Amino acid sequence: MSRRDEAEALDARDPVASARALFALPEGVLYLDGNSLGPPAAGAASRVEAAVRAEWGEGLVSSWNAAGWWEEPIRLGDRIARLVGAAPGQVAVCDSTSVNLYKVLASALRLAAGRRVVVAERECFPTDRYMLEGLSSVPGALHVRLVGHAPGDLVDGCDESVGAVLVNHVDYRTARRVDLGAVVARAHDVGALVVADVAHSAGAIEVALDDWGVDFAVGCTYKYLNGGPGSPAFVYVASRHLTAATQPLSGWHGHERPFAFTDRYAPAPGIRRFLCGSPPIVAYAALDAALDVWDSVDLRAVVAKGQDLVDLLLDLLDERCPELTVASPRARPERGSHVALRHEGAYDVVRALAARGVLADFREPDVVRVGLAPLYLRFVDVVDAVSVLRDVLDDRPWERAPTGDRATVT
């Protein structure tokens, strides 16, 4: 039996195979970049059209009440909560991941009884470091302690001076997964709080924020959750902190009585106090349609399939593309749902793949990043993509590419 025949057999017994029909996927494209931007749900366009034509176009301002616009950040947050292992009332959909990270880092330090040290990995996602830099520029706000990338470095960096630990659950380049529960246990032992960035894990692997004891978390909705380009992010605050926690971006949507228009800010009860400005209602409509897909599938089956797809890809790469260096962990408990491949001509390999209908992405300095989103990707897609990759490697496009010819978005 050929590898493609084996893949077809896996597809035939895939318990989440029917979910593929719930997405609008272009013909002739093998989409291996859902870890960067997920495709639209099949119902997204009609949902957005209804929000524009009926709710906005006909209901106008009355739709804040009649169409439930005002409650969307909390309603959608509760829909996402089950995907990240959170009880209702602890997640809100609002703003961007970067903005939410600023909120929760500042909030964590306010709860940390004067401790100003934040521990983070030196190679965490750049926007996380940038937000730390921004906070550290405020006099007296915090001191950043950057640690290495090896397993255990975050835990070893925790001591009694630390107020918060910033953790990327899955590394954006290599897909290395941090044992978040272990980091939480160590941080709590020394009296520190944990802020988790789950942007590269929510919707792809198991996330259990409540069970792990995470204090705060942020994540995006446009990757594995398929909310659309720039779709609003989400913020999680453990229920035990919701009474005492306050955040610095005290916008009117987080006010306890926003339409009283009082002179001073008073935070709303619960997770609503982590809202800031007016919510993006049209973008919410697309996300709402995407979350309908998640309501139709077994999350555990989705996670298991994602890991099976990774296993298949790694096996095929070992067989057919041995010149590529796999920079991702091979053990299931240690990885997310994408694979990093190192090659000197990585950028040109990604471009050549795209020209042949296989969409992956490039990350500096030499990484081909392959996303394996289990809701819509088939096992035969992985086999076919590796066949195209083999052809590209044989063609050696990096030897002909002009230097400095780079697109803005890679």
Q: Is 305 a residue of the active site? A: no
Could you say which of 305, 351, 369, 378 is catalytic?
A: 369
| pTM for this entry | 0.96
Q: Is 376 a residue of the active site? A: no
Rounded Cα distance, 282 and 86, in Å: 26
Could you say which of 23, 102, 172, 222 is catalytic?
A: 222
Cβ-count burial 213-230 (b if 16+ within 10 Å, e if not): bbbbbbbbbbbbbbbbee
Residue 96's identity, in one-letter code, is S
Residues 6+ positions from 13 with CB-CB distance below 8 Å = none
Ranges of residues in the chain whose predicted pLDDT is under 70:
140, 403-404
Q: Is 176 a residue of the active site? A: no
Kindly report the CATH number that applies to the domain delimited by 46-295: 3.40.640.10
| Range(s) within the chain of domains with CATH label 3.90.1150.10 | 3-16+298-399
pLDDT value for 403: 67
Rounded Cα distance, 224 and 203, in Å: 5
pLDDT value for 137: 81
- Closest alpha carbon to 95 in 280, 255, 273, 222: 280
Could you say which of 223, 305, 351, 378 is catalytic?
A: 223
For residue 268, the 8-state DSSP code is: P
Q: Is 215 a residue of the active site? A: no
Q: Is the dihedral of CA 258, 260, 261, 266 positive or negative?
A: negative
Could you say which of 14, 128, 197, 381 is catalytic?
A: 197
Q: 265-323: per-residue pLDDT in tens?
A: 999 999 999 999 999 999 999 999 999 999 999 999 999 999 999 999 999 999 999 99
Q: Is 330 a residue of the active site? A: no
Kindly report the CATH number that applies to the domain delimited by 3-16+298-399: 3.90.1150.10
pLDDT value for 148: 85
For residue 120, the 8-state DSSP code is: E
pLDDT value for 40: 97
* Residue 216 backbone dihedrals phi, psi, to 5 degrees: -140, 150
Could you say which of 125, 284, 347, 376 is catalytic?
A: 125
| Range(s) within the chain of domains with CATH label 3.40.640.10 | 46-295
